[in-house]
Homo-oligomer: A and B are copies of this chain.
Amino acid sequence: MTQAQNAKSIDLIFAALADPTRRAILEMLLEDDMAVTDVAEPFEMSLAAISKHLTILMRAGLIAQEKRGRVKWCKLQPDAMRASSIWMQGFGQFEALDLEGFERFLERELDETQDMA
């Protein structure tokens, strides 16, 4: 990948992550692959809106979509976050992942985002 493509993709990743609905979707996909309709279910917005969010996540490379029959399955692509995550780590030298703490944090943010939706 060229340098420009690299920075461009980091733009897309961070922009994608800046929206709480999209972060919530990614968190849902941590659990399991999901169909578009099921992704949309917990949110109080139209299916078309969720479809747009998924397009943004896909263009950022954060998810992949595969159509089987009439159902389009969404699958998390966590490696896409790698470059951006490393970029951030360069600032804070944060300690390596505390998985338990992360799960607690995730739970709280997930609750909160669903409240908002």
Contact flags (1/0) for A25-51 with B, using CB distance below 8 Å?
010001000000000000000000000
The count of residues in chain A whose C-beta lies closer than 8 Å to any C-beta of chain B is 48
| Interface residues of A, dominant DSSP | helix
Taking a contact as CB atoms under 8 Å apart, the answer to whether A106 and B79 are in contact is no
Contact flags (1/0) for A8-25 with B, using CB distance below 8 Å?
001100110111100100
21 sample A-B contacts, Cβ–Cβ < 8 Å, listed by A number: A3-B112, A4-B112, A17-B84, A26-B91, A30-B90, A30-B91, A76-B91, A78-B91, A79-B92, A81-B91, A82-B92, A83-B105, A85-B85, A85-B92, A86-B102, A87-B102, A88-B88, A89-B97, A90-B102, A95-B96, A96-B97
